[in-house]
Amino acid sequence: MDTTLWSCLLSCLLLFIADAKHLQQQTGPITCKVSRATSMDLSYKHLSKVPRNLPRNIQELDLSRNNIYSLHDKDLEGLPDLCILKITHNGLLDISPSAFLGNIKLQLLNISFNALRTIPELSLPDLRVLDVSENLYGSYYLGKSYTSLLNLAFLALGSPQARSINLTDFASLHAIPLQSLKLSSGVEMKLYEHGSIAQLTMLQELTLHMTFCENPEIFGNILQDLNKTNAESLTLVKFFPDICNVSNGIFAGFRSLGHLKSLFFYNTWFNSSVMTSLVRNVIQSPVKILSFYNITFAQDTPEGIHIPNVPGYNKPGNIRIIVFQTIHHYQYNFPLINVNVTLFPYLNYVKFSGTGMSILPCNLISALPSLQVLDLSDNLLKGRGLWWPSCSFSNVFPALKELYVRSNKFVDLQFISNHTYEMKNLNKLDLSTNSLRLMGMSSWPPHLTELSLSDNSLGDAAFSYLSPYVEIVNLSHTGITALTQTAVSQLSSLKHLFLSSNSISSLPSDLSLPDLEELHIHQNIINTLNQNTFEGLPRLKRLKAGRNPFACNCDIAWFVTSFNKTLLTDWPSDYTCSSPHDLAGMALENYHPGWVSCTPWIQAVISVVIIIIVTGVLGYAFYTFDGAWYLQMLWVWLRVKRRGYQEANRLRAAAFKYHAFISYSQKDSEWVDTQLVPNLEAANFNLCIHERDFVPGDWIIDNIINCVEDSYKTLFVLSQNFVQSEWCNYELFFAQHRALSIQQDSLVFILLEPIPADSLPKKFLKLRTLLRQQTYMEWHKDERKQQVFWTNLKAMLQVADKSMVLERVAKEVTELCHLLNENE
């Protein structure tokens, strides 16, 4: 069979699936978009009439299962937007002809399961779906008003009292584009006027829920009328009740049909003789899809369904699709089927599901020449039930591509894999929901590229039982706890990997599946998604990763912000945070940690910048508030104190005339006279002052020597002036008195202005060394700093008396601290 035909058939199948859905809910042609806000469910409310003052914008109103017995003129007025109205199961007896006058937008009206005695007149030009079935009227007569239902597409009628159909009944529908008609009296048809249904020329599908046991010719007449419409689909519900007296000729009408494509049987009793008759006739009809849902089968003929050939018919049958879904076996034994497969040359889809089958009629099914899809789901098959040892498997399933054996009793995967080699074209095998166990290693043929092992307890080993040729693998719900690159590395052809509903806690960051296009990992226990994982999946087009317990932290931030969401089939609804606790339940979509807080290098840069700024600010503050000066002063003071005891001893031995000898330049005399001297003399220090206390006539050096020797400390008021005019004397003095034991500790330098040691003339060797070694005190213009200065200076000059030393240290520490604090 060529591919065009195959795809056509697949679309037929889809059509048929759509049909089945259509049967369940006839809302297909409805065009209004009802939102939750404009929909009101008032079912099961014990209402006896339509409530007043309903919101005016209501589009959908459900009044089912109440006790509304009649609909009056004004009951539904004030609902101009009403589009869908359901008043089923109410015991409704009558409807006023003008009840829906104000509801011209009504598109669906369901008044089934009531007690209407006549089919009500309706003038609703927009009505598309009307269900008046399961009522109590005696005739299917549709009044003149139905000529105005120009949009009516679906109509359901039915009353156990209405057992005849007159030509006039559907006359009003002559020009209506009705597509689907459902007649469901549920009882025996008594009379049918030939031509009644033929008036519905646009009809596409007909559903009959009635029996023809007594008047099988009525069914024949209906088939003939159906032939005159466009109908391609016929559904027969409860066509045969348990006891039905029909001749086998009831299906003869199918043979001469022109364009019927699908035939569906629901909830019907069948025995093998009737089934045989049906199949013989359908083979000769244009029907392509033959389906049975929920049938009860009894074998009334010893040979079962027996169709060795069809006498007098030598054309191949048209059937493409046969579906048996749910068969109840009346006799609890498996039906005999003996059908000549050459009658089904085009049959390519067979579904045999929910039948309790434990052994496949292998010689029959496997011999179907063009069978491409075999669905044996929901049976009781085991390995040897499908591959029955007495069946010949030399050349079986010549065209079979897809085999579905979901929900059976298969156990041995190796056995199955061995046998897939026998199906030379098989490329898809669905083994979901069996009892598979991994025993011996399995090997698979190269043509098998799609495998579903979902819903079996396989565990992590499952990966090593897969074929390297496999492209699509479903391992959902198989108890897998880990996905590793090693496990999937040999699956080089993998394109679709489904691992939903397992216990995988993370995806490996080294995952590398270059051809993978689709990955399902939803409903696992994954906390986070690693960006590296997806670098190994360059072809990924679809990802389903929702319903995992995501930890909303920086690790997943990239996913929220930069992952291509068009790849996600379940975004955003299925993605929520599970942790941390305060974010639990939040939609992952709404998780937006600042990119700063989640980007380490930005953080590093910011930290560095902050450190630089803080350092800068501190440095600036230190500079502007003369931190260096304070530090220096503190250092001076500490040194003074450290020598306190030493000094005390020294002082006791020595007797000084002066506390200090002050040497300064004449040019700095103003400062000395106004600041230094008054301050120190006020503190009762004896001072020997250069010039004032020098003995006139003595050589200056002698004067200096005398003063230095009589003083406890020698105070130099250093300034550029002093260095230039006075210091040379002292260089000389120090040169001469090298042997003299002048303690350098007794020298105190007060800097009136900054004098870097290196800026001094090279000849002042001593001063340079002294300034480098000694700590000096800088004079400052700031008054607070001056106080610190004086405190330190006085402390230095204090002629220590041993008992006083400790006390003074304590006092001065407090003072100094106080001063320093004040300054901040």
Q: Which stretch binds ligand NAG (CB under 6 A): 164-172, 460-468, 652-660, 702-710?
A: 164-172
Question: With binding defined as CB under 6 A, does residue 60 bind ligand NAG?
Answer: no
* Coil vs helix vs strand at 611: helix
The only residue of 66, 110, 407, 711 in contact with ligand NAG, by rule CB under 6 A: 110
Q: Which residues contact 180 (CB under 8 A, 6 or more apart)?
A: 22, 26, 153, 154, 155, 203, 204, 205, 206, 207
- CB of 232 or CB of 647, closer to ligand NAG: 232
Question: With binding defined as CB under 6 A, does residue 151 bind ligand NAG?
Answer: no
Question: With binding defined as CB under 6 A, does residue 432 bind ligand NAG?
Answer: yes
Q: How far is the CB of 606 from ligand NAG (least distance, A)?
A: 29
Question: With binding defined as CB under 6 A, does residue 755 bind ligand NAG?
Answer: no
CA 429, distance to chain mean position in Å, is 30
The only residue of 57, 230, 309, 597 in contact with ligand NAG, by rule CB under 6 A: 309
Query: CA 180, CA 26: separation in Å to the nearest integer?
Result: 10
Question: With binding defined as CB under 6 A, does residue 224 bind ligand NAG?
Answer: yes
- CB of 26 or CB of 719, closer to ligand NAG: 26
CB count in 10 Å sphere of residue 590: 13
Query: CA 738, CA 494: separation in Å to the nearest integer?
Result: 97
- CB of 4 or CB of 390, closer to ligand NAG: 390
Place of tokens 């074929």: 467
- CB of 139 or CB of 215, closer to ligand NAG: 139
In the range 552-591, which residues lie near ligand NAG by CB under 6 A?
Answer: 564, 566-567
Q: Do residues 197 and 203 make contact, with C-beta atoms less than 8 angstroms apart? A: yes
The only residue of 59, 66, 103, 112 in contact with ligand NAG, by rule CB under 6 A: 112
Alpha-carbon Rg for the chain in angstroms: 53
Q: Do residues 253 and 226 make contact, with C-beta atoms less than 8 angstroms apart? A: no
- Per-residue x/- mask for ligand NAG, residues 600 to 639, rule CB under 6 A? ----------------------------------------
Q: How far is the CB of 271 from ligand NAG (least distance, A)?
A: 4
Question: With binding defined as CB under 6 A, does residue 88 bind ligand NAG?
Answer: yes
Q: How far is the CB of 167 from ligand NAG (least distance, A)?
A: 7
The only residue of 39, 215, 273, 725 in contact with ligand NAG, by rule CB under 6 A: 273
Q: Do residues 659 and 712 make contact, with C-beta atoms less than 8 angstroms apart? A: yes
Q: Do residues 116 and 140 make contact, with C-beta atoms less than 8 angstroms apart? A: no
- CB of 541 or CB of 794, closer to ligand NAG: 541
Question: With binding defined as CB under 6 A, does residue 180 bind ligand NAG?
Answer: no
User: How many residues of this chain bind ligand NAG (CB under 6 A)?
Assistant: 53
Question: With binding defined as CB under 6 A, does residue 107 bind ligand NAG?
Answer: no
Q: How far is the CB of 65 from ligand NAG (least distance, A)?
A: 9
In the range 683-742, which residues lie near ligand NAG by CB under 6 A?
Answer: none
Q: Do residues 339 and 279 make contact, with C-beta atoms less than 8 angstroms apart? A: yes
CA dihedral 810, 815, 820, 823 (to 10 degrees): 170
Q: Which stretch binds ligand NAG (CB under 6 A): 90-98, 451-459, 620-628, 646-654?
A: 451-459
Question: With binding defined as CB under 6 A, does residue 415 bind ligand NAG?
Answer: yes
Query: CA 406, CA 455: separation in Å to the nearest integer?
Result: 9
Give the DSSP letter of residue 568. B
The only residue of 300, 422, 510, 555 in contact with ligand NAG, by rule CB under 6 A: 300
The first and second tokens of residue 331, run together, are 């006799």
- Per-residue x/- mask for ligand NAG, residues 9 to 28, rule CB under 6 A? ----------------xx--
Question: With binding defined as CB under 6 A, does residue 456 bind ligand NAG?
Answer: no
Q: How far is the CB of 631 from ligand NAG (least distance, A)?
A: 59
Query: CA 89, CA 111: separation in Å to the nearest integer?
Result: 8
Query: CA 278, CA 254: separation in Å to the nearest integer?
Result: 9
* Alpha helix segments (H runs only) across 506-552: 531-535
The first and second tokens of residue 444, run together, are 């698979």
Q: In degrees rounded to 5, what are phi and psi of residue 803?
A: -65, -25
Query: CA 263, CA 31: separation in Å to the nearest integer?
Result: 29
Query: CA 247, CA 240: separation in Å to the nearest integer?
Result: 12
The only residue of 96, 148, 227, 527 in contact with ligand NAG, by rule CB under 6 A: 227
Query: CA 706, CA 533: separation in Å to the nearest integer?
Result: 90
Q: How far is the CB of 26 from ligand NAG (least distance, A)?
A: 3
- CB of 244 or CB of 662, closer to ligand NAG: 244
Q: How far is the CB of 269 from ligand NAG (least distance, A)?
A: 6
In Å, how far are 351, 360, 656 from 396, measured between CA atoms?
17, 13, 130
- CB of 543 or CB of 689, closer to ligand NAG: 543
Give the DSSP letter of residue 514. T
Question: With binding defined as CB under 6 A, does residue 205 bind ligand NAG?
Answer: no
Q: Do residues 182 and 204 make contact, with C-beta atoms less than 8 angstroms apart? A: no
Question: With binding defined as CB under 6 A, does residue 131 bind ligand NAG?
Answer: yes
Question: With binding defined as CB under 6 A, does residue 768 bind ligand NAG?
Answer: no
Query: CA 397, CA 623: separation in Å to the nearest integer?
Result: 95
Q: Helix axis angle, 765-773 relative to 727-736, nearest 10°?
A: 90
Question: What ranges make up the beta strands (E) of 43-121?
Answer: 60-62, 70-71, 84-86, 94-95, 108-110
In the range 484-513, which residues lie near ligand NAG by CB under 6 A?
Answer: 498
- CB of 138 or CB of 619, closer to ligand NAG: 138
Residue numbers at the binding site for ligand NAG (CB under 6 A): 25-26, 88, 110, 112-113, 129, 131, 138-139, 156, 164, 166, 168, 224, 227, 240, 244-246, 256-259, 267, 269, 271, 273-274, 294, 296, 300, 308-309, 340, 342, 412, 414-415, 418, 432, 440, 452, 454-455, 474, 476-477, 498, 541, 564, 566-567
